[in-house]
Structure 1
Amino acid sequence: MKPTYPIMELDAPSETVIPMQSLLVAPFAALTPAELISHFRQRDVDNYFPLSAGKAKHIASAAPILDNQFTLNNETHRLDDKFDWLHNPSPDLEWLILLHKFYYSRDLALAYDCSGDERYADKWVALVGSWIEQVPDGFVNSQVTGRRLQQWLLAYHYFVPGRHCSAITAEFLLALLGSIQSQAVFLSRNLTPQGNHRTIELYAIFAVALVFPELSQSAELLAFAQQELMANLRDDFLADGVQKELSTDYHHTVLKNFLRVRELADLNELTLPEAFDAIIRKALEFSIHAHKPDGWLPAINDGDINSYLSLLRKAQRYYPSNALSYVLSQGEQGMPPTQRSRLFADSGYCILRSDWAERPYVDNRYLFFDCGGLGFGSHGHYDLLSFEVAAYGRSLIVDPGRYTYHEHDCDGVNWRHAFKGTAAHNTIMVDGKDQMAYQCHEPVGPQPRAAVVSFESNQGFDFVHGRALSPQYEVEHQRSIFFAEAEYWIISDLLLAADAHRYEQFFHLGPEAQGQTELQEQGIRAPNLLIAQARRAEIETSLKPGWVSREYGVKQPAPVLSCSQECTGSGWFQTVLYPFKGDAPALRVAALSVTSLGQSVPATQALALSIRIQSETTTYHDCFFVAHQPGPSQHHFADVICRAQLVFIRRDAEGGILSVRAYAAEWLEIGGRKLLDSIGKPVCLNYAQGQLKIDAIDGSVPA
């Protein structure tokens, strides 16, 4: 078995009791043990977070722990009364890591708060005491120490201040304080070099120093933590506000710890630099846009499928904004963000969505496009140019999550690879290869690269064009996404190559689509979603079994649409994703021939589609054109002549033009009628409801 993290080489735990004179500062070092425990029981606790009250659910969660039964990462083991902390009963190292993080402290503490039953305190004291006796500082790695200190501080506040808990003796309190200080000092000398682990560790040092000013090392630890937290904050977030590991889940883990720093600083009347707040506000902007209309967050790269709205509510106390209020209230309060769709250029993340003001709020259409690299560290998946789609309160095309960090393959499958690999994402696999050679942990060797080529968010449409290159094959993948009338998406994929290759395109549906998805002539019909392509004999379409993991260690079956082709050289796909509410419309997609100067234009240069959408009340005839390589060429398709990167035209059932959208356009004729003549000056054109609007563009990717 390969462990998820390298286990540090450490000395055995010391059995020497730290003298009070070296553990505490004056005048506390001169107190007797009885006086000391009285001090900690009676002192004010206004320098720590407000405590929530225990509930019956915490008693239910804590009851198995009394019997040494631990359920961690959805895997349960019952340990002996005198179990060995260094022995792992699970084949997954993550289980042992969670045992040492002490998250179950919270259930024991809140169960005690709710019931007053001393058994919960006795158990916490027994677990902490045996851990101190058996385990050296830093076991497994530093971030585990950081997590454990956070949990011990929380439990301490339920068992000691304002309590007369018989399990908390003066001898135990001294051992606890000695271990807490020792672990905090260890952290200060063994910090993880970068990333979310370092943030967790620094926050733990900061919290220990503030909560226990009586400790002899607290003043030094506080000065150290303040300086390093600010440096780490600057290093941890990219200029666009996205955490550099490029995981939506870990972005919020880091944000949560920095928000705790802000709250503790306020409680202790510490002033933080203005730059601290400026970076946090940018991180919150990403969170505002990244949350789906239903409040959930896509699991991009490692992480579970979570909602962090509760974290945003806490953030609102310190960083109030109209946009935060709007998202938290689902549009009932505040004001919508100033941008409907948003590109986060440094991370390569792009979110396309319909009008924030739409009602009901959860009906908004939403697409998250991952046009970034693997990110710093080990949490990146091989998912360049993948995306997620949500609409009408449901996640329709999803990232399957992480499932596990463990490579144990007792059932013949390396599930870490299965969820991390390219085939587990909504992108294109070339020749059955991942976008880079698989590694369970941090990537080794050349990495795949991605970039946003162009982005435009305008009246009636959004358009983003990305490019990805892999060291595994000599194929350039270009993907453009056009969001038409804030209603549906057109995905254009171009695979540029000189040699023969097999290209396979994946669309991963949610578990709710299992058994509810029908393969049709042009694609599939799933709950609230149609996926269609123009008929092409060379494309093989099939539904395959897949998996989605919403939380660690749990996976659910979910269908996957696969579209594959074998090409001698370049290949292409063009796909319509049409979300719907209620009854599904009839959707027909057909390819349109494109010519230039009387010659047929290859698909690698430009593509055009006819899209017919017919519901019980409305019929639309849409026409879409995209040029993969913008330039001076003039193209002709259907009754349209254009010089543009893209053109979208919507007609009604009688052929009347309802809207026209064009980007990087210099010339446009429809049915012999000239709408635009701007040779040499690319513009963005919008025509709707009889109004024509033309805006200059500079072709740059906005920050």
Structure 2
Amino acid sequence: MGPAEIVWRVTQLAQKKASKIGVGLAARPPAPSLARFGATFVGALEGGDGIDVVALRASADAILAGRWNVFAMRGLNLGFPPQWNRDPKTGTVAPMKLGKAIDYRRESVVGDIKYLWEPSRHLELVTLALAWRASGEQRYAAGARLLLESWFDQCPYPQGVHWTSSLELAVRLVNWAFAWQLLGGADSALFKGEEGGRFQRRWLDNIYQHCHFIRGYFSRHSSANNHLFGEYMGLFVASVQWPCWPESTRWQALARRGLEVEAVKQNTADGVNKEQAIYYQHEVMDMMLLCHHIGQANGAGFSATYLQRLERLAEFVAALMDVGGNVPMTGDADDAQMVRLSYEDGWSPYRSLLASCALLFNRGDLKHKAGRLDDKNRWLFGSAGATRWQALADAPEKPVLAFPEGGYYLLGKEFGTPGEVRIVIDCAPLGYLSIAAHGHADALSFTLSAGGEELLIDPGTYAYHTQKAWRDYFRSTAAHNTVQVDNQDQSEIGGNFMWLHKAQATRVAHIPEGQAQLFEGVQDGYRKLADPVLHRRKITFDANCNAIVVKDILECRGAHDIALHWHFAEGCRVEAEGADVVAQGERNRLRMSSPFGGGPQLLRCSEAPIAGWISRKFDEKSAITTAVWRGRIDGTTEIETRITLDVAGDVVSGKSNI
């Protein structure tokens, strides 16, 4: 931390101490003005207009029956309403004291904080409100009110773990804004009569306290990542939806200004979120989309620069997404949604965002990648949006192949067709700001898919605050398709969300066009060793015969233990054939060979060492096969790995020239 951050953190600590004696709190919110509320931002739908009402109502009915889905725990019996301060995973009941005095990182105090916080984001409140809007059944609206009142009772400001993180409050405010709109806004039947008026005032008092809290506890300096963006989002949406207090105008101006600044600071001009985590790119994109959508409905849309950055972010997602809709799981992921508006089977957050951007920017190529208009976009853009979607001409994919500022490069062919080969190479910085919280040690790793089928993958994230060994593994170098030296990570882990020494990756060459394609890059993560090692990687792709040659050059003077890890998708049946590895997917086949070491070792569901795992969802893991070539080098050495593909739907034209 630099001097400015130290001063800021000391100030925050003093502010927390003062709040213990009531100084600086909003214990008695001022009376709200009810003269004006925000304009509707939920699209008008005619006769349901394609919404999967059956799936929506099934989700709402499950909530009313007390069955909740919280990360890996599905159909969890939490009751309705639930115990908001009890961790559904461990059963730990968090203490009811000043929220800012609670160490939410300590499992012994709060349990698994992700599980405790998730229900209180109130995505399920929106589920009930949507079900009421779609069906008109009063029990859904009554359930929404009961859920809110129980939360107000059990989570009084500023006590308990739900008053610790400004981001959690911000996401809750966004869901409250959607629920308020869907339930009828200020004219909702829930607010009628004396009792309804008291309920409305109680809700508005909580909204004021949420805004006041966020304004006092922004994430700054080394913490100014997606958390800060989300905090601005919550404050902006709330001040637009509920301009009920003198502070609302200042809050809106502050949040709007912050969003404009952070949209540029946190995202590269070529469309890569600087946290180097594709799921967090999705989250920031969703924040940007929702703020613009809600702002625009209220005459407060965002600048051309802001929107241009959002469009570039969409182009990066489109470039990473293969013809089957798969997106490499680069960096951290926590499965968060800002608001849930889709319940249909097979819903993809990435395709959904591309559909939104197709409508927003009139992009037929993004429509092609999205594939269809999902329920989230139907709720956002209404029947008018569905009409525009139908009128938007579909355009073939022409992916951007290089993101030099963001650090990603593509090789491949026949993009968007059954014969597609898509290679995505990571030559990016570790992460954002000094702690690089959500980055993984994956420099010069790459993923490979063929015909929309994943073959070589990034195994994902799995854990955050708990299960340290698993947290460290999934973000380690060994969990990525690259080279490990002396059992070290390229970058040095300093904590669950902190990195110390950081590898620097640099592109040397990139030729993505034609039949003979090339990428070359270097990374210096192992220069920290007593005998420094520079890792140089050359990847060549022969589009004539679907052959890939990977040359790893390790420049050093002394002896080192080397391991090359390759992680295969769970749909692959992987076997060793002598010195080769053969992976048979559902439609495609891959052969990998290398003369290095004593031949391949296949690991599956291994815990010593940890290897052979994939995590498609937070806190869930399943089996894959990891192939490892191990050996020892002495001085500068080149290691060659050859990969040949048999791609269904493609006719190769000759022998390899590489």
In the superposition, the TM-score normalised over structure 1's length comes to 0.73
Name the SS of the counterpart of 1:169 in structure 2: helix
1:438 CA displacement:
2.7
In structure 2, the residue matched to 1:442 is: 497
Q: Which amino acid aligns with 2:328?
A: P
- Is 1:317 matched with 2:317? no
1:317 CA displacement:
1.8
1:375 CA displacement:
0.8
1:397 CA displacement:
0.5
- Is 1:181 matched with 2:180? no
1:324 CA displacement:
2.3
1:491 CA displacement:
1.1
Q: Write the distance in 1 (CA, Å) between the matches of 2:213 and 2:145.
A: 22
- Is 1:208 matched with 2:238? yes
Pairing of 1:558-577 with structure 2 (within 5 A)? 558-577=624-643
Q: Write the distance in 2 (CA, Å) between the matches of 1:245 and 1:447.
A: 14
Pairing of 1:58-73 with structure 2 (within 5 A)? 58-73=56-71
- Is 1:543 matched with 2:542? no
**Structure ranking higher in strand proportion:** 1
1:577 CA displacement:
2.1
1:354 CA displacement:
0.8
- Is 1:96 matched with 2:116? yes
Pairing of 1:138-149 with structure 2 (within 5 A)? 139-149=163-173
Q: Which amino acid aligns with 2:324?
A: D
In structure 1, the residue matched to 2:249 is: 219
**1:494 paired residue among 549, 553, 569:** 553
Q: Which amino acid aligns with 1:145?
A: L
Q: Write the distance in 2 (CA, Å) between the matches of 1:187 and 1:15.
A: 12
In structure 1, the residue matched to 2:85 is: 86
In structure 2, the residue matched to 1:244 is: 274
**2:189 paired residue among 151, 164, 168:** 164
In the superposition, the TM-score normalised over structure 2's length comes to 0.77
Identical residues among aligned pairs (%): 23
In structure 1, the residue matched to 2:538 is: 480
In structure 1, the residue matched to 2:424 is: 368
Name the SS of the counterpart of 2:571 in structure 1: helix
Q: Write the distance in 2 (CA, Å) between the matches of 1:68 and 1:159.
A: 21
For residues 128-148 of structure 1, the C-alpha deviation after alignment (integer angstroms, 9 at most, x for no partner) is: 223334243562311111111
- Is 1:152 matched with 2:152? no
Name the SS of the counterpart of 2:411 in structure 1: strand
Equivalent pair of 2:367/2:394 in contact (CA under 8 Å): yes
For residues 375-396 of structure 1, the C-alpha deviation after alignment (integer angstroms, 9 at most, x for no partner) is: 1131111111111101122001
Q: Write the distance in 2 (CA, Å) between the matches of 1:100 and 1:163.
A: 23
Question: Please, which moves more after superposition, 501-510 or 477-486?
Answer: 477-486
1:115 CA displacement:
4.5
Unaligned runs of 5+ in 2: 1-11, 90-110, 336-347, 373-391, 605-611
Name the SS of the counterpart of 1:353 in structure 2: strand
**Structure 1 pair 16/239, CA: closer, same or farther in 2 (3 Å)?**
closer
Equivalent pair of 1:54/1:113 in contact (CA under 8 Å): no
Equivalent pair of 2:30/2:245 in contact (CA under 8 Å): no
**2:332 paired residue among 302, 310, 315:** 302
**2:287 paired residue among 240, 254, 257:** 257
Q: Write the distance in 2 (CA, Å) between the matches of 1:618 and 1:54.
A: 42
**1:461 paired residue among 516, 519, 522:** 516
What is the aligned length?
Answer: 558
Q: Once superposed, what is the RMSD of the aligned Cα atoms?
A: 3.2
Q: Which amino acid aligns with 2:40?
A: D
1:311 CA displacement:
1.0
Q: Which amino acid aligns with 1:300?
A: T
**Structure 1 pair 81/328, CA: closer, same or farther in 2 (3 Å)?**
closer
Equivalent pair of 2:557/2:634 in contact (CA under 8 Å): yes
Equivalent pair of 1:544/1:561 in contact (CA under 8 Å): yes
**2:225 paired residue among 178, 195, 220:** 195
When Rg is computed on C-alpha atoms for both structures, the one with the higher figure is 1
Q: Which amino acid aligns with 2:426?
A: D
Pairing of 1:306-345 with structure 2 (within 5 A)? 308-328=350-370, 334-336=394-396, 342-345=401-404
Equivalent pair of 2:491/2:499 in contact (CA under 8 Å): no
Q: Write the distance in 1 (CA, Å) between the matches of 2:274 and 2:26.
A: 41
Equivalent pair of 1:403/1:549 in contact (CA under 8 Å): yes
In structure 2, the residue matched to 1:690 is: none
Name the SS of the counterpart of 1:577 in structure 2: strand
For residues 453-503 of structure 1, the C-alpha deviation after alignment (integer angstroms, 9 at most, x for no partner) is: 111223223211111112553211111111212633221111122221111
Q: Write the distance in 1 (CA, Å) between the matches of 2:395 and 2:202.
A: 52
Equivalent pair of 2:354/2:369 in contact (CA under 8 Å): no
Q: Write the distance in 2 (CA, Å) between the matches of 1:560 and 1:80.
A: 41
In structure 2, the residue matched to 1:519 is: 576
Q: Which amino acid aligns with 2:329?
A: A
In structure 1, the residue matched to 2:40 is: 46
Name the SS of the counterpart of 2:215 in structure 1: helix
- Is 1:232 matched with 2:289? no
Unaligned runs of 5+ in 1: 1-5, 29-39, 585-616, 625-703
**Structure 1 pair 282/115, CA: closer, same or farther in 2 (3 Å)?**
closer
**Structure ranking higher in helix proportion:** 2
Equivalent pair of 2:482/2:566 in contact (CA under 8 Å): yes
